[in-house]
Structure 1
Amino acid sequence: MSHPVTALIDALGDASAQVVDLTQPLSERTPVIQLPPPFENTPPLRRRELSRYDDRGPMWAWSVLEIGEHTGTHFDAPIHWVSGREGEDVASVAPSRLIAPAVVVDRRAEVERDPGYLLTVDELQRHEREHGRIPDGSWLLFRTGWESRAQDAEAFLNAGPDGPVTPGPDAAAARWLAEERAIVGFGVETVGTDAGAAGGFDPPFPAHNYLLGAGIYGLTQLANLGELPVTGALLVVAPLKLVDGTGSPARVLAIVPS
């Protein structure tokens, strides 16, 4: 019997498995979360050119980047939230926790009818009745169809008169995932792991509060979840190894059967 790593290499080589990029392109136009006053906001990506095959550097091109830790497709570490302040920074995350199986919960139809749709415990349990228990040590990925808005900042952030209208878990679902399932992390297609209305929940922003407080990571602004099976994909998450980092832009890949 071949070694599992050899089998994976062979599967990638003969195209019986493929790599899917779940990362949104990162540029100066990438939408970033907008908080109301008096809170401080992260800036969009900014780039200052150092040289481009010219007198400043005749054979090379490079630039300086200014970028928030939580910009574009990014990883949330536990210390991002006050409930996880004693937990891991990005650099402290064990490499073995950055590669894990993925489970996809698809609620596109519900979100199409209601952009502020809230994922509930009942819906998660219904998913488990259909597809099996969410495995320990897995990423739970919430597919909503929101990635179709990713290149239009206004549609992506979807701010209404009472605040942003985007899908996410309700408070009970966030608590259930943190306390009743041993997941590694929770990933979404939206700008943050919480619903747009979550500032008014009890507690506010429950996905951040419960999940990060339990040492469970977050992933945001994912793409191409439609290319993943409900189960059977292997997720590879690659944030910067940023000391004291509360988060990091990340390249997120999935290995899936062809």
Structure 2
Amino acid sequence: MDRVLKAARASGSLNLSNRSLKEVPNEVYKSLDAVGEGEKWWEAVELQKLILAHNSIESLKEDLRNLTQLSVLNISHNKLSHIPASIGELHLLKSLDVSFNSIFEIPAEIGSATSLIKFDCSNNQLKDLPSTLGRCLDLSELKASNNCFTSLPEDLQYCSKLNKLDVEGNKLKMLSENMISSWTRLTELNASKNMLSGIPESVGSLSRLIRLDLHRNRISSIPSSIMGCTSLMEFYMGSFHFHSFKTHLANLLFIGC
């Protein structure tokens, strides 16, 4: 472990995946404070990338705040039940992957991690997302599939740079008109396996949308505004039958599942 940590202080990257860890070694949180004897402290660099995937880690300490230069944190495939509030103090964090854990709640403080670009919280036990996530204005990729959401926070409309959204396998009953109309950069939207009863009229504002997956929902009609999705190449709706399908989608590719 000492050798790995020493290499991390030289490169700024630490990969401790697949090591059967039950907790994060304290030395990881200490960053440059742990520079050892014989090391040149002036050559050491702050930790920027931390990979802890595929272990048995049950918690992260609030000491996570010490890793002020961290831009990538991957702690997927562990046994986390929560994320420390100090995640919001990582102001340079761009990529956060906490997928495949047992997390019940994302702390509101995540809204202070305003550099966040990619966030993967899929395959957890989340009942909602904090509205403060809408403060992460640079967010371009959000993966939140296979949780227990019944709705998405309205403040997500402020994430206008959103490019990819995956909310498959939740309990969503609707997608907000305001949110959809704000995500004009969206190229991929997967809201399959939910409880949606319709498609917002504002879907027509998604002129960059390439892939739309809405299969296994309760949708019975397609709004004519969908013709505004001029980049759409893949549209998954399952085996439903629509009387007006040919009229609205004459120039689009429909793939049934």
Larger Rg: 2
Give TM-score scaled by structure 2 length: 0.26
More strand by share: 1
Give me the TM-score of the superposition, normalised by structure 1: 0.26
Structure showing greater relative contact order (alpha-carbon pairs closer than 8 Å, 6 or more residues apart): 1
